[in-house]
Each structure stands twice: as C-alpha cells, then as structure tokens.
C-alpha cells in the first residue's frame, strides 16, 4: 500500500501567535492520526516560484490515513485556531507503492 503525505508550504505568516496556537493543537492531532513529521521548517532551496518560507512534510502509512487525519475533529479544531493567521498551500498526496 502506498504511503500518504501532507506537503504544506507557507506562503505568508500574518499572525505568528495563531500559528503557535495551531501548532500546539495540530501536532497531537497529526500524531493521533498516524502522522510522522519528516520535515518542519528546515532549510529550503527553492526553484520555480522561489518560495523559501516554512515547509512541512508529514508521512502517513496510507493516503486514506492522511486524508482521515486531515478530516479528524482534532485537526479541524486546530484549523479553526489558525484561521486567517497564514496563507499556505496544503496538499495531500499519494506516494509510490
């Protein structure tokens, strides 16, 4: 079975306090959903659009598990906390089996 991944690129951070509050809720929600953080805001070499902002990569045992974690009540609560504090591009992608 192919793994699932969350790839999140932060385009702009408008409210660092909202981001901190989100992180405090999102981390436990992601772990409860089976996610493992592989990269969190480390160094970036950008190509294409050139965005070097914060990038998060999270691995799940399956694509379905990744989608379910995003739809979970705990993660949705974290999203409410984040609200308009950032502009980001979050994608859930299926790995190669």
d(CA 11, CA 87): 5
Question: How many helical (H) and strand (E) elements, i.e. helices and strands, does the chain have?
Answer: 3, 4
Give one DSSP letter per residue of 22-62, joined into a string: HHHHHHHHHHHTT-EEEEES------TT---S-EEEEEESS
Q: Is the dihedral of CA 40, 46, 49, 53 positive or negative?
A: positive
pLDDT of 97 reads: 84
Report the domain count for the chain: 1
- CATH of residue 31's domain is 3.30.70.100
Predicted local confidence at residue 54, as pLDDT = 86
What pTM was estimated for this model as a whole? 0.91
Q: Per residue of the chain (97 residues), what is the pLDDT tens digit?
A: 899 999 999 999 999 999 999 999 999 999 999 999 999 988 888 888 777 788 999 999 999 999 999 999 999 999 999 999 999 999 999 999 8
Residue 11 belongs to what domain range? 4-94
């Amino acid at each position: 079975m192919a793994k699932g991944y969350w790839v999140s690129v932060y385009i702009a951070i408008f409210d660092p306090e909202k981001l901190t509050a989100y992180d405090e809720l999102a981390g436990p929600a992601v772990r409860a959903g089976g996610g493992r953080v592989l990269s969190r805001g480390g160094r970036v070499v950008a190509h294409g659009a050139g965005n070097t902002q914060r990038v998060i990569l999270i691995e799940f045992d399956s694509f379905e598990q990744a989608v379910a974690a995003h739809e979970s009540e705990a993660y949705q609560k974290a999203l409410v906390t984040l609200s308009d504090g950032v502009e980001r591009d979050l994608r859930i992608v299926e790995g190669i089996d």
